[in-house]
Amino acid sequence: MSESKPSLFGEAFREELKEVFREVIREDAAIQNGRAEKLLFDSKEAAAQLGVTHTWLETKAREGKIPCRRLGHYVRYSREDIEQIAKGVVDPPEG
């Protein structure tokens, strides 16, 4: 009879980690197949696509007001995340 080990991380964290790994694997496969399509973007790259500052984007991500991918202290944005932000998941920056 085997005992199950208690998890160090919650189920939500494990699922998010799986999704990040899936995206990294897809990106690696795309590069190996000659399609260098980038799947994850850092804050500066995503902010440039959205026309906002990276500090605004990082603040909203930290507040949990926009979709993003987290792996430890790294925050990345998928194409889908950027599209959702552009469609108005949050209010645009003031000023």
Q: Which residue shows structure tokens 């926009």?
A: 66
Quote the tokens at residue 93: 């920056």
Written as tens digits, the pLDDT of the chain (95 aa) is 555 555 666 888 888 878 887 887 877 776 676 666 788 999 999 999 999 999 999 999 999 999 999 988 899 999 999 999 999 866 555 55
Quote the pTM value. Answer: 0.59
CB atoms near residue 22 (< 10 Å): 11
d(CA 72, CA 79): 20
| Domain 11-86 bears CATH identifier 1.10.3470 | no
Task: Say if residues 60 and 84 touch (Cβ distance below 8 Å).
Answer: no
Rounded to 5°, the CA angle 16-79-18 comes to 20
